[in-house]
Amino acid sequence: MKWKDLTYLIKSDRIVLLTALLLGFLFILMVYLTTEGFDHSTAIVGDTVSVSSLRHNPRYPHRYYRVPVASARLFDFDPNTADSTQLLALGLRPWQVRNIYKYRAKGGIYRRPTDFACLYGLTRKDFLRLLPHIKISSDYLPAVTLAEPMPAFKQDTLKYPRKIQQLERVDLNKADTTQLRHVPGIGSYFARQIVNYRRHLGGFHSIQQLREIEDFPEKSLSYFILPDDDVTRINVNTATLSQLSRHPYITYTQARDIVDYRRLRGPIHSLGDLRLLKSFTPQALSRVEPYLKY
């Protein structure tokens, strides 16, 4: 657009155009003046100060002070009782000292020097430096250490008892479980089975009765003897129904028949009276006869 063309514009358009040109000129002048008075060295120094202040900003927790390792003193200490002054003098950080205090406040105990290695943030180098100086008081050892040691048992008297020789014998009605375990083929299980069955029977009257124990080892029979007829007999005329039926050789039906016989016919005088009862077979009478009295 040529300047002479401005004369053809209406008055309002000329005012708008001149105002825009004036504002543009003022903006350029302001930018120039601002750039002219700016000191670049001041800006660089300002940035340096900002970075420096950021590095030393106390808001960063990892900038806690620490005693340099070169100036740290080494001395014997108990981590269960050492105070903060001692721990800091050893070169530990304040937050590590606080962790030790929190651990102890919750009931934690360092029982062995190696337990101190679990301290959060403790490096391997620092731990190895402190390890020779960690001394745990005996007061913090488990109370079980005061207990007397259990007496040592010989192998052949506890888990592996000495077995008797071929010519040795064991009294079947008098031996306890310990003595029974010395018999070849008899361990803890069969020793208990023998004692329990002997108690229910009232004693053994024959070695062959051991065969009535399930899976009893045949080879063990020859090691037993019965020198005396030492069995407990049941009085069929005074024993109750419960007492009679508890015997291994008397069933509940047989016990009830005995009680009914006594009630209806009176006392039982011999094995012949029991033969009258249908529940007693000849074989049953033969088994129970050694355990009855009249």
To the question of pTM greater than 0.75 for the whole model, the response is no
Same domain, 275 and 246: yes
Q: Is the dihedral of CA 16, 19, 25, 30 positive or negative?
A: negative
What CATH number does residue 255 fall under? Answer: 1.10.150.280
Query: Are 293 and 233 spatial neighbours (Cβ–Cβ below 8 Å)?
Result: yes
For residue 96, what are the domain limits? 66-146
Helix, strand or coil, per DSSP, at residue 77? strand
Residue 150's identity, in one-letter code, is M
The residues, any chain, with a CB within 8 Å of residue 241's CB and separated by 6 or more, are: 255, 256, 259
Within-domain flag for 278: yes
Same domain, 95 and 160: no
Within-domain flag for 56: no
Give start and end residues of each alpha helix (H) in 135-234: 177-180, 188-201
Among the listed residues 291, 293, 256, 261, the one whose alpha carbon sits nearest the alpha carbon of residue 274: 261
The greatest distance separating any two alpha carbons of the chain, rounded to the nearest whole angstrom, comes to: 163
HSE-CB at 43 with a 13 A cutoff on CA atoms is: 5
The residues, any chain, with a CB within 8 Å of residue 254's CB and separated by 6 or more, are: 244, 245, 277, 279, 280, 284
Within-domain flag for 52: no
Same domain, 121 and 80: yes
Report the C-alpha gap between 166 and 42 in whole angstroms: 112
Within-domain flag for 43: no
Within-domain flag for 79: yes
Within-domain flag for 173: yes
Within-domain flag for 214: yes
Give the E-state strand segments of 83-231 in sequence order: 170-171, 224-225
Same domain, 250 and 285: yes
What CATH number does residue 134 fall under? Answer: 1.10.150
Per-residue pLDDT of the chain in tens (294 residues, 90 and over written 9): 555 555 566 777 777 778 888 888 888 888 777 765 545 444 444 444 444 444 545 454 444 445 455 578 899 999 999 999 999 999 999 999 999 999 989 888 898 899 998 898 889 998 999 999 999 888 877 666 666 666 554 444 556 788 999 889 999 999 999 999 999 999 999 999 999 999 999 999 999 999 999 999 999 999 999 988 889 999 999 999 999 999 999 999 999 999 999 999 999 999 999 999 999 999 999 999 999 999
Q: Which residues pair with 206 in a beta bridge?
A: none
Which residue reads 């825009």 in tokens? Answer: 20
Same domain, 71 and 129: yes
For the chain, the domain total comes to 4
Same domain, 19 and 74: no
Query: Are 106 and 100 spatial neighbours (Cβ–Cβ below 8 Å)?
Result: no
pLDDT for the residue numbered 229: 80
Q: What is the DSSP letter of 23?
A: H
Report the C-alpha gap between 121 and 92 in whole angstroms: 10
Residue 67's identity, in one-letter code, is V
Within-domain flag for 53: no
